[in-house]
Amino acid sequence: MIQIFSDTKALCKEVTARLQELTAGAELVNVALSGGNTPKALFDYWANEGRGLLAWEKVAFFWGDERCVPPDDEMSNYGMTYVHLFAKVPEITKEQIHRIDGEADPESEAVRYGTLLEEMLPLRNGYPCFDLILLGLGDDGHTASIFPNQIEKWDATSNCVVAEHPQSNQKRISLTGQVINNADEVIFMVTGSGKATIVQHLIEGDEAIKKQYPAANVKLASGTLYWYLDKEAAAQLQERRD
C-alpha cells in the first residue's frame, strides 16, 4: 500500500495514527525503530504536537538496526531517539526501551539481541514477530543496515547480523530479512527528492533491477507493507497512487 503525503509532518501524523490504532487494539505493541532523518522528524512530532496522542505505556521500543558506537555517540540510533523522544516524554519508562548495545562486541551483541527478541516477542514461523517495524530507505537501496554490497546478509538464518557500512566500514547490528519479513506490519518512511530514483526503482522497477537492492527483499510473509512517501520521494512514480 502506497500513500503519498504533502510533507514530512503529514507523513508523521499518519504513522502516529497507525500506531494509535495498534495500541487501541492491544495491551502491548512491539515496535522496531529506525535511525536516520525521517525517524528523527517522527520523534520530534511525537515529543511535541503528537505528545498526547499515543498510549505510551503500551509501546515497547526496539531497533531494526544500530551503529556499533556508545549510546551517547552522535551516530547512535538509540542516542538520537533518546534526545528527540525519550528525554522529552517521561511517560516512556526505561523498562519499555530495549536498545541494541552499540558499545558491545558486535558479534556477541548480535547474538544477545537476537536472543532478547526471542524472549520478548511472540514467535511465528520460528522467528520473533514485531507488531510494527519502521524502516528507512537509503538512496543506495539499503534498509535497516543491510547494504547492497552485503545483500547476502539479508538471508542470514539468524535474527540479527553484524554488517558494515560500505563507505565508513562502521560496524552495524541489523535485523535480518527473516525477522523483518515476519512482522505484522512494516512501514517504509521515505522523504526527500534524493530518494525519488530509488523509490521508483523499488516500486516500478523490473525484477533484475530490484535484485541489487536489499530494500526490494522486504516482502512480508503474512503482514502488510506500507510505503509512506512524501511528494518529493514519490516524484518519479509513473502512476498516481491513492
Binding site for ligand 6PG (CB under 6 A): 34-38, 65, 77, 136-138, 142-145
Supply the minimum distance, in Å, between the C-beta of residue 51 and ligand 6PG: 22
* CB nearer to ligand 6PG: pick between 23 and 77: 77
Q: In the chain, how long is the greatest CA-to-CA distance?
A: 47
Nearest CA among 232, 144, 240, 235 for reference residue 191: 232
* Upper half-sphere CA count for residue 77 (Cβ side, 13 Å): 29
Is residue 52 left, alpha or beta, with left meaning phi > 0 and alpha meaning psi from -120 to 50? alpha
* CB nearer to ligand 6PG: pick between 68 and 121: 68
Is residue 126 left, alpha or beta, with left meaning phi > 0 and alpha meaning psi from -120 to 50? left
* CB nearer to ligand 6PG: pick between 145 and 182: 145
Supply the minimum distance, in Å, between the C-beta of residue 211 and ligand 6PG: 19
Supply the minimum distance, in Å, between the C-beta of residue 135 and ligand 6PG: 7
CA separation for the pair 143, 139 (Å, rounded) = 10
Contacts of 14 (CB under 8 A, 6+ apart): 3, 5, 228
Supply the minimum distance, in Å, between the C-beta of residue 184 and ligand 6PG: 20
Q: What is the DSSP code (8-state) at residue 50?
A: T
* CB nearer to ligand 6PG: pick between 23 and 67: 67
Supply the minimum distance, in Å, between the C-beta of residue 176 and ligand 6PG: 14
* CB nearer to ligand 6PG: pick between 137 and 187: 137
Taking the CB of residue 90, how many other CB atoms lie within 10 A of it? Answer: 8
* CB nearer to ligand 6PG: pick between 54 and 190: 190
Query: Are the C-beta atoms of 190 and 135 separated by less than 8 Å?
Result: no
CA separation for the pair 57, 165 (Å, rounded) = 34
SS3 137: coil
Supply the minimum distance, in Å, between the C-beta of residue 229 and ligand 6PG: 12
